Amino acid sequence: MDNVQNKSKKKKEESKLFCVEDYEKLAQKVMDPLARSYYGYGNERGWCLRDSVQAFSRYRIRSRALKDVSHRTLSTTVLGQSIPYPIGVAPTGNHVMVHPDAEKATAKGAVAAGALLIHAVDSNETIADVAASAPGGLRWMQIYMFRDRQLTEHIVRETERAGYKAVVVAVDSPCSGLSPKLLDMFNTNGLDHPKYCMRNFKADIPSFWESRAFDDSNNFKYLYDMQFHASATWDDIKWIRTITSLPIVCKGILSAESAKEAAGAGVDGVLVSAHGGRQLDGAPAPIDAVAEVVDAVRGSGIEVYMDGGIRTGTDVFKALGRGARAVFVGRPILWGLACQGSKGVENILEILVKEFDKALAISGCTSPEGIPPGMVVHESYYHHNNMQSKL
């Protein structure tokens, strides 16, 4: 009887999932405490985490009235690859914490929705297994500039073999932003179970086999030792450029200076990102930083994307209006996965797409590229104009 009642209650709750916020609220109920802490983590005071969401409220849309918006398209291209809409799945790790099928379920949901997926290297499923579980999907692979270049090359080769179309290099992690408290929660919550294994790091290279001399069956210590590379420089990006013909995107760019250095290193795209507020608590909200980055690489042919804080289709519109070519969503995908598995991932994407389409129409635009310059402005635009009108 209890099982029947629980299923009925779950079905009733799922029938009320109309927006991303609804999924967030339900996910907080269904996720276990460790998953809630891990996915909800923001470094130090969590200011960057909160502001990345709240910052969208500082932007206004100067809509255009009486435009014929009866024929609209959401499709665009990224790195020459066609996508049905400019919303993709950001790289996040450890999906097994909220669903037993982990990144396989996420990939299936992304394929069902037609979305571009960036697969995180610190996932519980291998690159090959994710590709096989959801054939036909467009995927990019996120990596770090590992301390051992042999490991970097191993991941890149696996990426190429699996048919992924780009390499996304996180450049904002010379050290970990995770707190001692969160790490202690990991160490005391039974993460020695095989399901938590970081399978992409099993490589036939000396540094991996040396790590096996310690009790590191899930590769956590090896990942931690390799991932945070304090002496990495733009020369490492240039080196990655020499070992693959795949396009390279740098993730974690938040300033004009870094954007220009990325351009100098020969990258094809930059992803404006504050790592979900998990690294530097004094970092700006990505929506505040994206216009600066766009201006810095204008005319170079480098594409600019953004992630961080996107919760509605209007947020997507604002990010594109500030210059991003496409956006990526992280936590909302995990909430969908926690609530309904692959179907939840698909639903989250479809919600954002529908909301974005509506924002596009009401604003007087017919395509992502058709959002005119100056349509999305900081709220200070109106304060400044009001002051001028009084003089």
Alpha-carbon gap, residue 36 to 40, rounded angstroms: 6
95 is an active site residue: no
Q: List beta partners, residue 169.
A: 143, 250
Amino acid, res. 31: M
3-state DSSP assignment of residue 87? strand
C-alpha dist (Å) from residue 66 to 70, 256, 321, 362? 11, 37, 19, 10
Place of tokens 């070519």: 325
Choose among 358, 344, 286: nearest CA to 106.
344
Q: Among residues 275, 378, 383, 384, which one is catalytic? A: 275
36-66: string of b/e by CB count within 10 Å (b at 16+)?
A: bbbbbbbbeeebbbebbbebbeebebeeeee
Choose among 89, 100, 92, 91: nearest CA to 32.
100
Active site residues: 275
